[in-house]
Structure 1
Amino acid sequence: MNEALASLSGAAASPGGLLLPAAVLAPVVGVMAAFTLGGRNAQRVALALAPVNIVIAALIASAVWRARAPIFYHVGGFAPPLGLSLRADGFSAVMLATSALVMAAAHLFARADFATPAGVAEARAPFAFWTLTQALSAALAIVFLSADLFNLFVALELLTFAAVPLVCLKGSAETLRAALRYLLFALIGSVLYLLGVTLLYGAYGTLDMALLAERLRPAPIVYAAAALATAGLLAKTALVPLHLWLPPAHANAPAPASAILSALVVKGSFFLIVRLWFDVFPALAAGAASALIAGLGCLAILVGGTMALRQARLKPLIAYSTVAQLGYLFLMFPLAVGGAPWAPDAWAGGVMQTLSHAFAKAGMFLAAGLVVEGLGHDRIADLRGLGRAMPLAALTLGIGGLSLVGLPPSGGFMAKWLLLTSAAEAGFWPIVAMLLAGGLMAGAYVGRILGPALATPAPPLRSRPHPLRGAAALALAVVALLMGLAPLGFYDFLDIGRPLIP
């Protein structure tokens, strides 16, 4: 509605809309500054811009709340279809804030891992890490704010080519294999998505989401475009059965990179799937396709939970739990459509699961990095006494695990409770059963970590990580916990801009 009014009035932006390009340009300036200044200055630039990104995200959220409606900015002053539009609603605003907070914590944690060695002007891995994470921030900002499907394709490609090198920063053969597998799945996903977008442009002559939603009608070409684009994005999101790249990529990447990949990168493609089905294909979202997507989500919960229970090392266990937890995100699809009374709760549950998983999983991957640093390994069988030897790491794993299981008062509990009650009210009993079974499986694999960690005696430490690194990991897990105590106004905020599918 705001975009349509702006087109008629000639306005280039709504109040607060000028903040939207700033969210994209700030990390872009960081990348350019890193290349220009070079060396150890890349780290300084990234750390200096972290609070700037947080402030911009907070101001955008404030503008959306004050407007009680999505805010927008027309690039160059030209409204679609002549130009490109940036748009922020409740969902995109909280995702932008999540990206800024997780990235800031990962940067704080990574100072020791990716500091340029003394006496060296520039080192490959540190320069690559600080520059690539800035590129990731820019790509995520475009994904969360863009309203044009081709512009989103460009952002997804930037996201892929910034994320894949983070997997293989160690340079070992194992990390290179994991990165190549990730690249293969990502490129296949990109081709499928682009084919779907091409079909839409050929049929309707525009790629602006709002204009497409007005023009689309159920037709064979629309079904084909939806299938191709969704399949491509599911490959990038690693939903079962397209998940084979995720566990080795996330488990073998450095801890701060694993945190960013699991918390943010896979959420970018999921965010776009939500935009496609709820904003662009509303006529299809209420059909059998959404039930099929939810079925794949149920399968992911089973497969990911089963594989997590079989892992002997901590990081692969956390990686497979990501496969399972991503499945919960797709349970909202058949529930959040239509004008049913449970639709707003299902929408809020899906968004809350996205946010709480991001913070919990980022904290757990950082804690796993501390365990490897302190003990020299991450073998679950040899974590006995971890709680005494490394209390911050053990506490982070416990609080993050609390959210994954869905125990109160965590954000994961609120997310799963909203999905559970919505599914029960709608009569989707298979989803109810899967939510309960998934919680039991999560409790089992989190218990595999915490059981030995709470035992005695404490193991000898190879080195003692800096307390600030433990505090950064713990802060993320605490955010996931406190999200369960969010006031009702927060859920009203998430509802701003929620598509009302007939």
Structure 2
Amino acid sequence: MTSTDATVLLVFVPLLAACLAVLAPPRARSPIAAATLLALPLLLWVVTSAVLADGVLHVALAGHAAPLGIQLRADGLALLMLWLVALAGGAAGLYALASHPPASAHGGRFWPLWLLMLAGLNGLFLSADLFNVYVAIELVTLSAIALIAADGQAGALRAAMRYLLLAMLASLAYLLGVALLYAEHGSLDLYALARSVAEPQASHATLTALSLISIALLLKAAVFPLHVWLPAAHAQAPGAVSAVLSALVVKTAVVLLYRLWFWTAAGLDRDAVWLLFGLLGAAAVLFGSLAALVQAQIKRVVAYSTVAQLGYLMLVFPLIGHTGGAPSAWYGAGCQLASHGLAKAAMFLAAAGLVHGLGSGRIDRLAGAGKAFPVCLFAFGLAGVSLMGLPPSGGFLAKWLLLEAAWAQRGWGWIAVLLVGSLLAAGYVFRVLAAAFVASPAGGAAVRPVSSAMSLPALALALLSLVMGFVAAPLFQLLAVAAPDIAGVAPAHGGSR
């Protein structure tokens, strides 16, 4: 199989599997999903080997090149996110296989939507065109909303409706921005636009379009203060869905912001925009961490933690624009994307296991969980190590690189945010662990068993987030493929074929 074929199949295998799952009887849907989850890493290995050897891979579907045809583009950032989809999505899928019986009504609805979401995620990260990005991100968003509401409970329906209304508002802003860019430049290719946008004086229409698209992406990424839909949606969703929402879905918009402002708008003066993004990120770190400290439900703690951890990804903007600190900021962003994705998926799966076992998600009812569900608590704690930024985890490496970038520009405010955020993360992680290791009172709530198939995926992801701190060299090699040429971030293997 060629790398071109594998790149196309990364999108079409889960898409065709979703169609097949709709037509198949309920008991056949789980095997279809399992086969798809196993196939994705094998396809990714072929594409990754080719990109590391030869540089950026361009694939024109049906042989029709851009702008008339659809073009896929696999570079280092895209492959990082595709591997995160394969690992976090695969582990969450294994949890779902154990928790959603195929013969049930929930299981019947679940797998077609799940596979459709995976197809959208892969298509989005490989897209090189703003309209194709729109199609993919809508596919991801609508699938995620349907999965949140799949249980049919009142709280889940309210959360899904809020998510849907705000997502529609973001989509309208995004489409208006896309229309303005096309009217002004006659192209929607993210990289071809960089040449025409890089004029000495950008038009008001271009600046308005970039602003509208950025606001839409900030809302879809749930960046503070546009995060209002996230806590309820993540807390009300089934465990596997919460994991992919936090690890993957919200990050799609952040990655698109990187594409837009590091590549497409490379010829513009971006300092004011990047400072604004950095301030929003700092506010998100502080607000999300403080909110997580006072939540009564364990899944809401993890949800508000996502708001905080997304803030670190926004801090990259002001840090990457300074000579000397840009390489550290770029590699720190990649480490944060990967380590947070693995750790947060692990944390949500572990929390879902605890809720399933105890019959309640309240922190004050976690007493005895440490003895009853040691694997879930161990996975939760290991994931917390990465979120806190403790060595030797991938989260430590990410925050160390961001601190290094902040130190290079004497950004004392950014340094303070990074340090205070880590301390607050320790507060909400240890609050949960302390409640779980209290002895269970006599006559406590009945305990349901949590199978190994439900607890081991969380442990595997948590261990991966820890191991990242030891084996970051391959990640850095991947991130160097077509890295943004900003203030000393030197692209490596930037060619295409």
Shift of 1:111: 1.9
Matched, 1:76 2:57: no
2:151 is matched with which residue? Answer: 170
Aligned to 1:476: 461
Alpha-carbon contact 2:367-2:439 (below 8 Å) kept: yes
> Which structure 1 residue ranges, 5 or more long, are not aligned?
1-14, 118-122
Say which of 42, 50, 58 aligns to 2:37. 50
| Counterpart Cα distance in 1 of 2:289 and 2:333 | 19
Distance (whole Å) between structure 1 residues aligned to residue 255 and residue 160 of structure 2: 23
Query: 1:104-146: CA deviations, max 9, x gaps?
Result: 11121112321134xxxxx432122111110011100111101
Post-superposition shift, 1:17? 2.9
2:359 maps to 376
TM-aligned CA deviation for residue 385 of structure 1: 2.9
- The TM-score, its normalising length taken from structure 2, stands at 0.94
Separation in 2, partners of 1:213, 1:492: 25
Aligned residues of 1:344 and 1:495 also touching (Cα < 8 A) = no
Q: Which residue of 1 aligns with 2:386?
A: 403
Moved more, 441-450 or 80-89: 80-89
1:137-286 equivalences under 5 Å are 137-216=118-197, 217=199, 218-284=202-268, 286=270
Tell me which amino acid in the other structure corresponds to 1:191: L
Instruction: Give the letter for the 2:461 counterpart.
Output: L
SS for the counterpart of 1:130 is: helix
Deviates more, 1:200-209 or 1:57-66: 57-66
Separation in 2, partners of 1:132, 1:483: 30
Deviations 1:289-331 (A, max 9, x none): 0110111000111111111011011011001100101111111
Number of the residue aligned with 1:334: 318
Shift of 1:476: 0.8
Q: Paired residues, what number?
A: 481
1:114 equivalenced with 2:97 (yes/no): no
Distance 1:407 1:244 in 2: 29
Distance in 1 (alpha carbons) for counterparts of 2:110 and 2:222? 23
Please, what TM-score do these two structures have when normalized by structure 1?
0.93
Does the Cα contact within 8 Å between 2:271 and 2:321 map onto a contact in 1? no
The answer to whether the 8 A contact 1:336-1:343 is kept is: yes
- Where 2:401 maps in the other structure, the secondary structure is helix
In 2, the alpha carbon distance for the partners of 1:59 and 1:101 equals 16
Does residue 389 (structure 1) correspond to residue 372 (structure 2)? The answer is yes
Deviation, 1:461, is 4.8
- What is the CA distance between 1:457 and its match in structure 2? 4.9
The CA deviation string for residues 385-444 of structure 1, in whole angstroms up to 9 with x for no partner, is 322111001101100111111001111111111001101112222111100110111011
Partner amino acid, structure 2, of 1:279: W
SS where residue 226 of structure 2 aligns? coil
Matched, 1:287 2:271: yes
1:16 matched to 2:3: yes
Distance 1:449 1:496 in 2: 40
The answer to whether the 8 A contact 1:255-1:366 is kept is yes
**2:74 pairs with one of 88, 96, 101:** 88
Residue of structure 1 aligned with 2:117, choices 130, 136, 142: 136
SS of the equivalent of 2:58 reads: strand
Whether 1:493 and 2:456 are equivalent positions in the alignment is no
Is structure 2 residue 311 aligned with structure 1 residue 311?
Answer: no
Q: 1:285 Cα shift?
A: 6.3
Query: Matches of 1:131 and 1:285 in 2, distance apart?
Result: 44
Kindly report which structure 2 residues correspond to 1:451-462, keeping only aligned pairs within 5 A, or say none.
Answer: 451-457=434-440, 461-462=446-447
Aligned amino acid, residue 89 of structure 1: D
Q: Percent identity, please.
A: 42
2:89: which partner in 1? 103
Q: Per the alignment, in what secondary structure is the counterpart of residue 355 of structure 1?
A: helix
More off after superposition, 38-47 vs 196-205 = 38-47
Is the CA contact 1:389–1:460 (under 8 Å) kept in the aligned structure 2?
no
Higher relative contact order (CA closer than 8 Å, sequence separation 6+): 2
1:223-245 Cα offsets, whole Å, 9 max, x none, are 11111000001100000111000
The match for 1:427 among 377, 393, 410 is: 410
- 3-state SS, counterpart of residue 430 of structure 1: helix
Counterparts of 2:98 and 2:476 in 1: how far apart (Å)? 38
Three-state SS of the structure 2 residue aligned to 1:111 is: helix
Change in CA separation of 1:82 and 1:169 when aligned onto 2, cut-off 3 Å: closer
Aligned amino acid, residue 135 of structure 1: L
Q: Any residues of structure 2 matched to 1:18-37 within 5 Å, and which? A: 18-37=5-24
Shift of 1:187: 0.8
Hey, what does 1:4 align to over in structure 2? none
> Matched residue of 1:147: which SS?
coil
Amino acid corresponding to residue 211 of structure 1 in structure 2: A
The AA in structure 2 aligned to 1:241 is P
Q: Distance in 1 between matches of 2:231 and 2:188?
A: 34
Calculate the aligned-residue CA RMSD, in Å: 1.5
Amino acid at match of 1:73: V
Q: Any idea what SS the aligned residue of 2:192 has?
A: helix
Aligned counterparts of 2:7 and 2:315: Cα–Cα separation in 1: 30
Matched residues in 2 for 1:487 and 1:300: separation?
27
Query: SS in structure 1 opposite 2:59?
Result: strand
1:299 & 1:377 partners in 2: Cα distance? 31
Give the secondary-structure state (helix, strand or coil) at the position aligned to 1:329: helix
Give how far 1:489 is off. Answer: 3.9
Any conservation in 1 of the 2:293–2:427 contact (CA below 8 Å)? Answer: yes
Deviation at 1:460, TM superposition (A): 6.2
Q: Match of 1:335, SS?
A: helix
- What letter is aligned with 2:483? R
Cα distance in 2 between the residues matched to 1:17 and 1:500: 26
Matched with 2:425 is 442
**Structure 1 CA distance for aligned equivalents of residues 31 and 439 of structure 2:** 41
Distance in 2 (alpha carbons) for counterparts of 1:26 and 1:341 = 42
